[in-house]
Amino acid sequence: MSHRKSTPLNKVLGRIDDLDATNLAILVQRLAREQKLLRTIFDLVHEGILVIDQNGVIEYANGAAGKLIGFDVRDSGKAVLWKLVPDLARTLDLSSEGAFDEVSGASRELHLTYPESRYVRLYLVPFFEGKTGDSRKNLRYAVILSDITEEKISTQDQIENEKVSSIIMLAAGVAHELGNPLNSLTIHLQLMKRELRKMGENEHLAKIEKSLAVCSGEVERLDGIIANFLEAVRPHPPDFQDLDALSILEEVLEILGQELKNHQILVEIESSGLLPVISADRNQIKQVYFNVLKNACEAMEGGGSIKVRTRSDDEFVFLQIGDSGRGIEQSDFTHVFEPYFSTKEKGHGLGMMIVQRIMREHGGQLGIDSQLGVGTLVTLQFPQKHRRIRLLKK
């Protein structure tokens, strides 16, 4: 059992009913000083900090948060976060009542246009105020806002930086050199397999053939790791075409069909009807789907289900892929998009970084919601063709 640390203030609060008017006034003054101190500390923090209830009503905001979203502290208890940041409500897919369902955490990147154009990374984490219990009245959400405008703007410049470029060239060269012996191994393994087939069938040869199959599988896996690495360090500009986002997903599901069957994973698609056309690179969007679906499969070791839901509004097409896997730890949430970060034993940690980069280059957004022990929901937000044309004309 955990015990809250006893402080002089806690001791006084414990016997508040016994205080006379003078001591009560002193207590109020002390509480006011502590509140002012905490506000001063929070206002010194560069990240924006908000506390909201389930309906998005802002109960607290520090100075940095107020500047980022154009919030006046006098509106505490009245202003709704979803109205100040409309794109956030859209990506979270709120219920009709405007309430947010409980999750272990949520991560979003947003482009704010008011009070000024800024790019913000948002983390949302639930907590209970006071005692927990069956009642959800005490449920609150802490929202952390990080201004990543400089990071977004300087990313391309950093890639062109001489030092970074030389490292990328070296890494790509090493990956290429590894590809040559892997190709040679693949050819010789195929030749050995053909020779074994000519020798007929017996128990000893069957064991050798099985070992060859394992070797071929490992070579293929290494080749996949190199391909992912090269795609991460040497991305190609998108070749934009008019596409149907759902039909491409169905193509990827067909490719992964046998693997999904082997892992006893059931896929269910719930479509809201014919989706508007998006402008995107077919192969890159396939890569997005492939990476997200592979993550979902690996999160469900003993089988499970993947549910796909589509929707659209006047500006965007949304495709949500949810799994019934183990979910994401809160401590891992801030590292999901970092290169080489992986919670899987054989993971290379590039999959979600590649997904995020492709979505950015398409003018879209990537959202992740997760609840530990329940599963993870990935939301892909694609701008419709007409919106992308308007953005290009600006």
d(CA 143, CA 133): 22
One-letter amino acid for residue 383 of the chain: P
Q: Is the domain of 127 the same as that of 166?
A: no
* The pair of three-digit structure tokens given for residue 141, joined into one six-digit string: 């959400």
Domain that holds residue 94: 45-148
Average pLDDT over residues 167-192: 75
Query: Among 210, 233, 256, which residue terminates a domain?
Result: 233
> 154 in a domain, yes or no?
no
- Which CATH number fits the domain that encloses residue 183? 1.10.287
Q: Is the domain of 197 the same as that of 335?
A: no
Phi, psi of 377 (to 5 degrees): -120, 120
Tens of pLDDT, residues 55-100: 889 999 998 999 999 998 888 899 999 889 888 877 776 654 555 6
* The pair of three-digit structure tokens given for residue 64, joined into one six-digit string: 């940095």
Phi, psi of 127 (to 5 degrees): -155, 160
Tens of pLDDT, residues 316-354: 999 999 999 988 887 777 667 665 555 555 555 567 878
> 374 in a domain, yes or no?
yes
Tell me which residue of 321, 276, 265, 271 sits closest to 298, measured CA to CA: 265
d(CA 360, CA 78): 33
Tens of pLDDT, residues 259-272: 898 889 999 999 87
Q: Is the domain of 121 the same as that of 260?
A: no
Average pLDDT value over all residues in the chain: 80
Integer angstrom CA distances of residue 325 from 296, 346, 368: 7, 17, 14
Q: Tell me which of 142 and 394 has the higher pLDDT.
A: 142
Paired strand residues for 127: 140
H-run or E-run covering 29 = helix 21-44
* The pair of three-digit structure tokens given for residue 260, joined into one six-digit string: 């999904």
Q: Is the domain of 89 the same as that of 224?
A: no
pTM of the model: 0.58
Q: Is the domain of 283 the same as that of 373?
A: yes
**Which of 122-131, 155-164, 367-376 has the lowest average pLDDT?**
155-164
